[in-house]
Structures are given as C-alpha cells and as structure tokens.
Amino acid sequence: MKHYKSAVFTALFSLCLIVTWIILTRSTVITEVRTTLFTCTISSQDFSLQWKHSVEKTQWVEYYQRHQDHFILQYTDVISFGAGTPSDYPIIFQKNGVIRMQVDQKISDIRWTVSKNMQGTILVKNKIWPIYQHLPTYSIIEISPQLYPLWKTWQFGECV
C-alpha cells in the first residue's frame, strides 16, 4: 500500500511539473491593444475597427485578421464615398446601403487615434467595445500582434 501511494504521489508530482513547464514555456500570438492608460489583449484572430468618418459622418468598419507578425486588412465597409475613401478596391457586395470592398492589405501594426467625435469602437466576435469612452479625446491606441509566453498573457486580460 505504501508503494502504491508513493507511485501515485510521484505520478501526480510529475504531471504537475509537466503542466507547469508547458505553461511557462509555451508561447502564443495575441493581439495587444496598448494605450497610455492600459494594455489588454484580444485572443481572437479576427477583430474589426469601427468609427464615424470625420467628413462624411458615416460609419466605417475595417475587418482584420491576425497572423504571426502582421495583420491582414481583409475588407472595409463604407456607406458612402467621400474624402479619403479608396475607390480602387473591388466591391464584394452592396447591401442595405453598405458597400464592402476587398482590400487584402498586409499591415504590421495599427496606430489609431480615437475621440468622442469619431466614436472609435473595437468589435470582437459579437462583443462591442466603445474604446473612445474609456480614453481621453485624441488618445493614440497601438494595436499589434505579439508573441508572449502563455502565462504572461493572463496578466493583461481580455479587452472585450
């Protein structure tokens, strides 16, 4: 009986060591959102940035997909074409006044200035984060793919 308990203890201790080693050494790529006030992460590979265009006063949405060391801006939804609207991207569809353009542009990181006027919002899956409500006007947000040890991602927490 003594040997059985010793074997079980040794097996459990070994399992704990293996799990600890995996947690401490395994790395993962996450999307880091950094401001002067906080840093948080987006674990989902896909996210969107939404805002109100400064001139047209219409909503824009950009759809991103994270890769190992960059993002791909997959497509953009606009309601109207005006100042600064690219017009050379193929139109995927038009529905209910929204025009979706195929972009497929590689972007290493995103620097985004948010304000109360433009109403910058981050969309992840079915969650909406009006980040402009949590920061002073004209705050700069840095969004980048980062490789972190798994244990370190827990210290930041999910943005949404």
Q: Judge if pTM exceeds 0.75.
A: yes
Could you read off the pLDDT of 109-158 as tens digits, one per residue? Answer: 999 999 999 999 999 999 999 999 999 999 999 999 999 887 776 777 88
Closest CA to 32 of 21, 23, 18, 43: 43
Does residue 3 belong to any structural domain of this protein? no
Q: What is the mean pLDDT of residues 11-20?
A: 69
Does residue 35 belong to any structural domain of this protein? yes
Q: What is the mean pLDDT of the chain?
A: 87
Number of folded domains that form the chain: 1
Are the CB atoms for 152 and 142 separated by under 8 Å? no
Does residue 39 belong to any structural domain of this protein? yes
C-alpha 70/C-alpha 30 separation (Å) is 11
